[in-house]
Structure 1
Amino acid sequence: MRLVQVVVPDEKRAEIVSTLREHELGVSTTKETSGEGDRTLVSFVVPADAVEHVLDELHEVGLKEEWYIVSLETEFASYENVDEAQDKWAKTPNRVAPRTLRSKAKDMRLNERSFLWMMTLSTVIATAGLLIGSPAIVVGSMVLAPIVSPMLTASIGLVRDDQGMVFDSIRMQAVGLGLAVVGATAFSWLLKAVFAVPAELAVANMELIAIRFSPGLLSVVVGLAAGAAGSFSLATKGQVAIVGVMVAAALIPTAAAAGIGFAWGQPAVGVGAVVLLTLTIVAVNLGAFLTFKYLGYEPDHVDRGVFTTEGVRRTAALAATVIVVVAVVGAVGVGTYQQVTYERSVNAATTEVLQRDAYDELGVVSITAEYVGVGPLFDPSTVTVTLSRTSDRPYEGLPDELARAIDDRTNERVTVQVRFHDYERSTSPNAATPTPRPA
């Protein structure tokens, strides 16, 4: 429920109160006198789903934007027909009013110092969690990071034509994630220098890092869905599931993985994680923007007034930012397409080899391919194939067979490493249980 209060001139009071009573809402009026003439404070309780519709009707009978209008969240309300009103509006689309969405967006924005500090601290936590292999610590870093807020506000700014909000949000995303990658690199290098972790640590083989340095199609799907979920939650009467979006997108651990890769001198890990990070944040922004458009949010005169007063300088800065973003998105798109194509070929080649009779007892657990870039820094690429087996047979020639098959299919130099998960299997499902010995 929402408590909405508007201050109206006395000559408009009757029309506005009559409109509210037609909807059987709880209405009260308070007479006030000021130097500007006689006015009345009209208060009414309305279901959250009905706020936008009711305000639109009030504007049709003379309510002005420049008048005092405020909407407050209400825990409960008691008036005649309150249950009927809630039941009626509960069946309608529950999109919040554009003014409410705009207010939510402004409330989500942190001051820059708090934002940068939280990004730094969450990056330190994520880096430590990855290096010690603790999923709980990594999840904690996602919850602390404030990066999702500027992503959602950027989408709101785009759909509402608020250029100032778009520019500030994109800048905070770029600065925040840049700080995360640089901070993770510095912190990782420090840990390596003081031997807090082994200097020869095989970071590319660590499970929590290995899943974060290869952009793929599923990363796009997750980013789009996470952005859409955040937008739906923000634009409806439900709780804003920002924490869920943070965990789903997993941006901070990916930035930390990039820093670890650079600190350990493994550019394939670092660059691959940066590409995945950029791909994910673009997907989240796009998913949020498309969802707001689907929900029907459009610019209005309030938002148009925001950016027209910013002047030519702000518009030029935004245009330059858009050009940079388009260039980055284009580069990331090319890199992602290259990686997705490469991974499909790796999967196909691996499947072809493992379908041979000699490997009938093996099952695929996972296939991880390092990022394939352009130039000698990424040559050769490393592919890690994890298999399940029920015996201790070594399969000594399997890595070379896989490497040849992948080389032939991709025309890329590749190093294949094979890991095994060993399982014990019962000899018969009806095997008899041992007979206990007599005492």
Structure 2
Amino acid sequence: MALRLLQARIPDVTRDFLDVVLREEEQIIDRWEEPLEGGGFLVRLLLPQNHTESVSDLMRRHFGNQPGFRAVFFPVEATIPHYDGGRDDTVATQGRISREELYTDVASGAEVSRIFVAAVILSAVVAAIGLRRGDTAIVIGAMVIAPLLTPNIAFALSLVLGSRTLAVSAVRASGAGILITLAIAGGIGFLMGVDRDVSAIMNRTEVGLGDVFLSLASGCAGTLAFTAGVPAALTGVMVAVALMPPLVVCGMLLGDGAWTLAGGAFLLCFVNISGVNLAAILTLIAQGISPMNSWHKTPARIVGRLGLLVWILVMAGLVFLILWKL
């Protein structure tokens, strides 16, 4: 069972009140307190990963308004003695990390930083080389870099949490990534042309219903990997959803003047983006992700349901377009 160590600085609290508060949460495996100079405690709690959100909500509710309060989460590699969850089958039913950890994970990948821009450039160049050569291994390398996947999941999370800040950051990162990719791929297509006999390129100018289901399954799997706190499992998802290769094909064909084929490649990319966002919202809602503060829950629920409806309508329109083309 995955564990977390929650360390919190609570400047203004007595031990009796701290005992009363922490007694509300039955899933605390172990706890340590260290008195602070001037009053209060530095508290360390060993928790099942699945209960970090309930405990952090509990502490924020009682201590969050105190100046100097701060809680930090640490992953736990192992404990002695080993903790296996005991006999309580209700533990670990939630199966996900806290919203704070999830927010931090996706927000860090949805910033237009130098590393993000470099990852987009490298991924576009690697994908273009692999596509021109028809080398599947090189194309997979570009898929694994996959800088555009996290901003899409971040956008879905922003709708579910009603976070305008995260939404703006995710849209900015996605837009910047798409424009940079199209510019690089367009330049390569303009300077070097596009060989239409290469199947790796032409296969990404056609869209079928299978691509719709693939994008939905990949979006769900990618979101589950994030919420479970195991982003290393995203590698297979990155390869499956493949946002970068069709976008690179679109740019190369635009640079070569093949507008119709470029439209097919962009349609495939848009199907993948829509599927990831739709599946991510559904998965986040199904896992009970919501704002902590009660006054944010209703607006966030409205925004989340509205975003879900929009993506459903978009996906329905894409399916109709695919069937019409067939």
Aligned to 2:302: none
Residue correspondence of structure 1 range 82-231 to structure 2 within 5 A: 82-85=83-86, 88=89, 91-192=92-193, 201=195, 203=196, 205-231=197-223
CA 1:139–1:131 in 2, change beyond 3 Å: closer, same or farther?
A: same
Is the counterpart of residue 2 in structure 1 residue 7 in structure 2? no
Residue correspondence of structure 1 range 262-301 to structure 2 within 5 A: 262-301=254-293
- Percent of aligned pairs sharing the same letter: 24
Matched residue SS, 2:204? coil
Aligned to 1:30: 34
Q: CA deviation at 1:335?
A: 6.1
Alignment partners' CA distance in 1, 2:144 and 2:288:
30
1:291-348 deviations in Å (ceiling 9; x for gaps):
101111122339959x9xxxxxxxxxxxxxx9xxx79x85x865652332332xxxxx
Alignment partners' CA distance in 1, 2:63 and 2:48:
20
Whichever of the two has the greater Rg, that structure is: 1
Q: How many residues align?
A: 310
Matched residue SS, 2:147? coil
The higher relative CO (CA closer than 8 Å, separation ≥ 6) is in 2
CA 1:161–1:209 in 2, change beyond 3 Å: closer, same or farther?
A: same
CA 1:266–1:88 in 2, change beyond 3 Å: closer, same or farther?
A: same
Q: TM-score, normalised by structure 2?
A: 0.83
Aligned to 1:248: 240
Q: CA deviation at 1:85?
A: 4.2
**Equivalent residues of 1:215, 1:336 under 8 A apart:** no
- Name the amino acid aligned to 1:261: L
Matched residue SS, 1:222? helix
Alignment partners' CA distance in 2, 1:234 and 1:86:
27
Matched residue SS, 1:212? helix
CA 1:94–1:334 in 2, change beyond 3 Å: closer, same or farther?
A: closer
Higher helix proportion: 2
Residue correspondence of structure 1 range 353-392 to structure 2 within 5 A: none
**Equivalent residues of 1:50, 1:89 under 8 A apart:** no
Alignment partners' CA distance in 2, 1:23 and 1:116:
42
Q: CA deviation at 1:94?
A: 1.1
Unaligned runs of 5+ residues in structure 2 are 300-306
1:171-214 deviations in Å (ceiling 9; x for gaps):
2212211221231121122124xxxxxx7x3x1x4211122112
Q: Aligned-pair RMSD on alpha carbons?
A: 3.2
**Equivalent residues of 1:51, 1:97 under 8 A apart:** yes
CA 1:230–1:214 in 2, change beyond 3 Å: closer, same or farther?
A: same
Q: TM-score, normalised by structure 1?
A: 0.63
CA 1:76–1:262 in 2, change beyond 3 Å: closer, same or farther?
A: same
1:340 to 312, 323, 326: 323
Alignment partners' CA distance in 2, 1:246 and 1:223:
11
1:78 to 72, 77, 80: 80
Aligned to 1:257: 249
CA 1:85–1:53 in 2, change beyond 3 Å: closer, same or farther?
A: farther
CA 1:178–1:258 in 2, change beyond 3 Å: closer, same or farther?
A: same
